[in-house]
């Protein structure tokens, strides 16, 4: 059985970075060299996200609630209302919402075709990042 966080790290987090990098560089005209340290990546990575080379494994921006969350992160970055640790927490909140919205189920089924994603409640049971077993 795939561990949802492993799948999210390879698909959801890059999708969030891609969306926010595009917002910051295209909507707010920030330089890639300024965006990179805020997102904890290199300028080359920002370029790949903006150019749709990375962050395309899952589409999450069609969900209005998720798009709104990502827009809020970008706006707070532009207005200098957040520090990098708060940006990370924003990413975690978006990722949790993606998982609870079942947007990652198709990826999980590709990783493990035997998984019955219709019956799976790992991401939707409200304890997607539970620390105790």
The model's pLDDT over 21-76, given as tens digits with 9 standing for 90+, comes to: 999 999 999 999 999 999 999 999 999 999 999 999 999 999 999 999 999 999 99
Q: What is the pTM of this model?
A: 0.90
Q: Is 130 within a domain?
A: no
The pLDDT of residue 127: 56
Taking the C-alpha atoms of 23, 26, 32 and 34 in order, what is their torsion angle to the nearest 10 degrees?
-60
The pLDDT of residue 129: 53
Q: Please give the mean pLDDT across all residues of the chain.
A: 91
Q: Is 105 within a domain?
A: yes
Structure tokens at 45: 């990575």
Q: Is 27 within a domain?
A: yes
Pick the closest to residue 13 from 68, 92, 99, 100 (CA basis). 92
Residues 6+ apart with CB under 8 A from 106: 58, 117
| Domain count for the chain | 1
Q: Quote the CA–CA distance of 83 and 106 in Å, as a whole number.
A: 33
Q: 10 lies in which domain range?
A: 4-111
């Amino acid at each position: 059985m795939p561990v949802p966080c492993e799948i999210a790290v390879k698909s959801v987090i890059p999708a969030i970075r891609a969306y926010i990098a595009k917002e910051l560089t295209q909507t707010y005209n920030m330089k890639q060299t300024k965006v990179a340290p805020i997102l904890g990546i290199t300028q080359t990575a920002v370029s790949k996200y903006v150019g749709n080379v990375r962050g395309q494994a899952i589409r999450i921006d069609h969900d209005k609630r998720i798009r709104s969350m990502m827009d809020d992160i970008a706006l707070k970055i532009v207005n200098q209302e957040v520090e990098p640790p708060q940006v990370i927490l924003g990413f975690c909140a978006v990722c949790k919402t993606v998982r609870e919205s079942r947007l990652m189920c198709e990826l999980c089924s590709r990783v493990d075709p035997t998984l019955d994603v219709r019956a799976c409640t790992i991401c939707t049971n409200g304890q997607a990042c539970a620390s105790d077993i």
